[in-house]
Amino acid sequence: MIKLPNLIKKSEKKVEKDERVVALDIGTEVLKAILFNINEEGKIVVEKVARIQQQQNAMDKGMIMNLNTVLENCRLAMREISDGLEEVKLPKHIVMGIAGEYIQGVSIIVNYEREEKFNEEVTTKEQADIISRIHNKILESGKEDLARRTGLVNEDIDILHVTITGMEIGGMSVDSLVGFRGKDVKLYFYASFAPKTYTSALQNVAKSLSLNLLGIVSQPFAVARAFRGARSKDFSGIFVDIGGGTSDVAVVQRGSVVDTQMYAFGGRVFTKQLAKALNLDYRHAELRKVKYAEGELDDKLGKQVKKVMYPTSQVWMKALKSSLEVADELESLPSKIYLCGGGALLPEIKEVMMEFPWTKLLPFASVPKIEIIHPDKLDNIIDESGDLNHTYDITPASLTLFALDKIANSGKYSS
């Protein structure tokens, strides 16, 4: 395993055996927190899950707009997951997800030749030197790319994480180069960047909760890495997480995340359209939308909601198409699409996706299969709470696995 230096300034405290950790997903509509520990087998054990409904003014498009309101909701979630725990079992660490249109992901594939040493085994020092050189180039180019896209200067950009997602030597996929001989080496990286205004807000949340911040991760990246088997060279797929404020997309090719996109079109847009069409206030429209998605409305009300949801879903589909067009470096997109998030429960989402002419408008070799996923599809999670059952729990559950990677690497960034 390769250790990369910490990128966002944070505490160097390590997670000790049996210490509890919180995964916090500050969603636009619902704030979700998971209390977990890591067992002797290196698996996540989920102990408690809390979900707190956010006020309408708390968030916008994945961004914290009212820090005091969000902090109060975080404290409510912490009280809920800490209720009844002995003091020694209270959480000490936190991992947080981040989303929004200005979160930039950069996929890098590095090829090089070990011309003089190809008959010698790769040493730990040689591997570390290689990673260090590439790492510095990623930091420079990634910041410049996000600066151009957002109009920010480099000093206003944070690097969230630089993660090695794959290695090959002599055409063979390996977990580490150390001990192998070969001439041709290929390394796969994924780096995520965010405006400091985003990351500082999350750092303030962790500080206010008196928790050690293990890391902040791009949410679509975390979801793509958490899915069972997604790190295998045999796996390719597209993950679409439809949250309240944004829809997050991650493309995985042969076990490596090659692209992430986030666009400000989530469940809140559907709710606002419903409120406008049916002359409802926002909260009543949200409740009606949720009941519709769960099949709890009578036929008359259901038809009224469908009349709004279908055309809105068509517009959402156009936004998804645009986000996939950005991945123009890929000759062909994966033929499996995995949906998650609360918005995925709207039947019209899958309906418009089934109707969409994928192979005509995008580089798909065949019409993709579409599947809604739940937390039981994620790797290395044991749910002792019995409450981790919903597709909208995918993101916070994925954050626990990002934390697992970091803890396994002694608090450094995952490889």
Identity of the amino acid at 27: G
My answer on whether 94 and 202 are in the same domain is yes
Query: Do 158 and 72 share a domain, yes or no?
Result: no
Kindly state the tokens that stand for 278. Answer: 């049916």
Indicate whether 93 belongs to any domain. yes
- Is residue 16 in some structural domain? no
User: Does 208 lie in the same domain as 179?
Assistant: no
Residue 2 lies in a domain: no
Q: Are residues 56 and 179 in the same domain?
A: no
Mean pLDDT over residues 73-101, rounded?
Answer: 93
> Of the ranges 27-36, 119-128, 149-158, 175-184, which one carries the lowest mean pLDDT score?
149-158
Is 299 domain-assigned? yes
Structure tokens at 230: 């997604």
Q: Sign of the CA dihedral 202, 208, 213, 219?
A: negative
Quick one: 366 and 268 in the same domain? yes
**What pLDDT is stored for residue 328 in this prediction?**
61
Query: Domain tally for the chain?
Result: 3
pLDDT-derived band at 415, boundaries 50, 70, 90:
very low
Q: Which residue has the tokens 């580089």?
A: 363
Instruction: Identify which of 10-14, 184-188, 337-341 has the greatest average pLDDT.
Output: 337-341
- 307 with 170, same domain? no
Confidence class for position 399, pLDDT limits 50, 70, 90? very high
Are 391 and 339 part of one and the same domain? no
pLDDT at residue number 215:
93
Instruction: Say whether pLDDT at 402 is over 70.
Output: yes
Cβ neighbours of residue 116 closer than 8 Å, sequence gap 6 or more: none
Give how far the C-alpha of residue 317 lies from the chain's centroid of Cα atoms, to the nearest Å. Answer: 20
Q: Are residues 350 and 274 in the same domain?
A: yes
Q: Is residue 78 part of a domain?
A: yes
158, two tokens: 């944070």
Instruction: Look at 227-231, 266-270, 327-331 and tell me which has the smallest mean pLDDT.
Output: 327-331
Whether the pLDDT of residue 411 is over 70: the answer is no
Domain carrying residue 134: 105-195
- Do residues 311 and 190 share a domain? no
8 A C-beta contact, residue 309 and residue 274: yes
pLDDT digits (tens, 9 = 90+) for 167-204: 899 988 888 899 999 999 988 888 888 888 899 999 99
Residues pairing with 53 in the sheet: 30
Is residue 269 over pLDDT 90? yes
Same domain for 221 and 281, yes or no, is no
CB-based burial label for 205 (10 Å; 0-12, 13-18, 19+): buried
Contact partners, residue 372, CB within 8 Å, separation at least 6: 338, 339, 340, 344, 345, 350, 391
Report yes or no on 367 lying in a domain.
Answer: yes
In a domain, 237, yes or no: no
Other C-beta atoms closer than 10 Å to the C-beta of 88 total 8
CATH of the domain at 44: 3.30.420.40
Residues 89 and 215 in one domain: yes
Q: Are residues 269 and 339 in the same domain?
A: yes
- Phi, psi angle pair for 191, to nearest 5°: -120, 140
Q: State mean pLDDT over 91-114.
A: 86
Q: What percent of the chain has pLDDT over 90?
A: 66
What pLDDT score does 237 carry? Answer: 97
Would 233 be classed as within a structural domain? Answer: no
Query: Rounded to two decimals, what is the model's pTM?
Result: 0.89
| 49 pLDDT above the threshold of 90 | yes
